[in-house]
Amino acid sequence: MSRPIRNIAIVAHVDHGKTTLVDALLWQSGTFRANQEVRERVMDSMDLEREKGITIMAKNTAVSYKGTKINIVDTPGHADFGGEVERTLRMVDGIMLLVDAAEGPLPQTRFVLSKALALGLPAIVVINKIDRSDARPQEVLNEVYDLFIDLDAHEEQIEFPVLYAVARDGQCTTDLSQPLTDLGPLFETIVSHLPAPVGDESASVQVLVTNVVPDSYLGPLAIGRVVNGTLKERQQVLLCHRDGRRTATSVSSLFTYEGLERVTAAEVGPGDIVAVGGMAGIGLGESIADALDPHPLPALRVDEPTMSMEFRINDGPFSGREGKYVTSRNLRDRLLKEGETNLAMRIEETDSPDRYLVYGRGELQMAILIEQMRRENYEFCVGKPQVITKRVDGAVHEPYEIALIDVAEAYVGAVVQKMGLRKGQMTKMVNHGSGRVRLEFQVPSRGLIGYRTEFMTDTKGTGILTHLFDTYRPWAGEIDHRATGALVADRTGRVTGYAVLNLQERGELFVAPQDDTYMGMIVGENSRDVDLEVNITKEKKLTNMRAASADSFEKLIPPRRFSLEECIEFIRDDELIEVTPKSIRLRKRYLDANERKRMGTVTASE
């Protein structure tokens, strides 16, 4: 008889401590007994996750507690990766909702909870970070109850167990009046409160595939949950695709999870999470069925994208200098591969073989894809993000977001003013009495494009801005994006200190002496609202009256260097970001000034 199983997903808003808690659960279950030094954020295995300090891809692990196997799925907390959360919830029988003891429920908390409640999943609520100086656990718990009621939770779902924790130290308690202990009470609550998986071992095999990962030796591994039946190694199965096709194959290898490792298994029963080899061609959300008696599961679907971004080959003069994959075929194959492995993204070909449209959830999701591709030695250009509109009763509708802003009282006026310019409408204001105010806005998605950097400047880096897709509403009208123009190089060459010295009064420069530039490249931000062509390679004319050493280069202002996210926020419709493994440059869509004039984008000359 197989041992009992519990399947649980840990969900929360970004930076509320999910991955830290999973690390503590692994540590206290004995997974790190041999080497306790490796417990720091072990679930964030991607380089980008470690660098940014966020979870991007949902990952699963398993621990044992008193004879019960607990499959744990760590999910992303950022709204842009909601597709990861949606597919994950189909693998589990309950959720652990983690909420910060000071910040309380935030937009992504609402999103993941609404998805879980819609699937009828029971919840365990953990109020984390109760050691914070501004913690207010009792108020936060009341806000969680309000959230459950607002989402029309059933009476059984509202009667959830509550624990209070400091995940960083691996401690928790069921009562604030009692001292903190280890995570034993949390393990006990998982085993006692969550239902065991339901499934028939003797029924026809049904496996829901929620992820596909490459393996150098075994080929594509399909990760999913055995819903019914018993899956065996070397068994003949059918891959049931979402378009109705069925492909015959066999299970070449079969694994379950123990701690952080995949463990080979001869057979796996219903309820367990498995990795299956030999599944070439299977897609996310599709299913594996018995070859002799197939009963496919309904294909998994997630919410539609709300934003698109143009990806195109790099046709600039520096193309091919730094990247390995530069052709349209390379770009097409990589994007189609991403579309197969990411349910929340959709790839669409255009009338040009050199351009593709990528549909996704938000700027961060797009930035992660771009950064992954440049680290894989791809070279390409991307355009400004565009929202996806719909026609409802003949009128244009656009996506709206719920924006939740937490700022000090001194910055409320600046934030309200800027959100007003971006067509945002304030729906709620709460002052917690600690000198900080929480504002809630309904704002068009395009109004938030490019706002984060400006927001951090207005709040001196102390503000918190989170947002989540709400619904489609009528078009809000024009929204000003960038009030300044660009300084555009009028020729190809190398930047000189003399040119920088004379141009820096025109605006803020993005290049330094000895940087390579080309005609049409954006080298700075004009202080006025028009684009200006400049000669950034101009050299000083030497005469016998004055030597070149007399120049005052000590007056040069250091250039502004953009991150990828800042570039996405900065560019206009007629501008592109050139992305290579070593460089990120800003450029005009049409490099030649005469061509820009023909296409209707006017650039003044210095």
Separation between Cα atoms, residue 184 and residue 164, nearest integer Å: 13
Distances (CA, A) of 438 to 407, 445, 466: 7, 20, 11
Q: Among 345, 207, 210, 360, which Cα is nearest to 285's? A: 210
Query: Around Cβ 451, how many Cβ atoms within 10 Å?
Result: 21
At residue 38 the predicted structure's pLDDT band, cuts being 50, 70 and 90, is very low
- Report d(CA 63, CA 70) in Å as an integer: 5
| Contact (Cβ atoms closer than 8 angstroms) between residue 46 and residue 57 | yes
Distance CA 365, CA 361 (A): 7
Neighbours of 126 (CB within 10 A): 25
Cα 213 from Cα 217, distance rounded (Å): 12
CB of 530 within 8 A of CB of 604? yes
- Please say whether the beta carbons of 507 and 526 come within 8 A: yes
Q: Is the pLDDT of residue 563 over 90?
A: no
DSSP 314-362: --STTTTSS-SB-SHHHHHHHHHHHHHH-TT-EEEE-SSTTEEEEEES-
- Residues 450, 448: Cα–Cα separation, whole Å: 6
- Report the C-alpha gap between 239 and 218 in whole angstroms: 17
Bridge partners (DSSP) of residue 100 are 128
The residue among 583 and 282 whose pLDDT is bigger is: 583
Per-residue model confidence as pLDDT tens digits over 469-494: 888 999 988 887 777 889 999 999 99
Burial of 291 (0-12, 13-18, 19+ CB in 10 A): middle
Q: How far apart are CA 97 and CA 185, in angstroms?
A: 16
Which of 543-552 are b and which e, b meaning 16 or more Cβ less than 10 Å from the residue's Cβ?
Answer: eeeeeeeeee
Residue 84: both structure tokens together = 């990861």
In the chain, % of residues over pLDDT 70: 89
Task: Quote the CA–CA distance of 339 and 360 in Å, as a whole number.
Answer: 10
The sheet carrying 531-534 orders its strands as 507-509, 522-526, 486-489, 531-534, 603-605
Compute the distance between CA of residue 71 and CA of residue 5 in angstroms, rounded to an integer. 7
Query: What's the average model confidence in pLDDT over 330-340?
Result: 88
Least trusted range by pLDDT, from 16-30, 55-69, 183-197, 299-313: 55-69
The per-residue pLDDT for 78 is: 56
Averaged over 366-381, what is the pLDDT? 91
Token pair 């309820």 is at which residue?
271
User: Each residue of 504-550: pLDDT tens digit?
Assistant: 888 899 999 999 999 999 999 998 888 899 999 988 877 665 555 55
Could you give the residue ranges of the DSSP H alpha helices within 171-235?
A: 184-193
> pLDDT tens across 85-139, in order?
777 788 888 889 999 998 888 777 877 788 888 888 899 999 999 998 888 899 9
**What single-letter DSSP state applies at residue 557?**
P
Q: Which of 530, 512, 534 is nearest to 521 (CA)?
A: 534
The β-bridge partners of 12 are 98
- Looking at the whole model, is its pTM more than 0.85? no
Which residue spans within 53-205 are E strands per DSSP? 59-65, 68-74, 95-100, 123-128, 162-166, 171-173
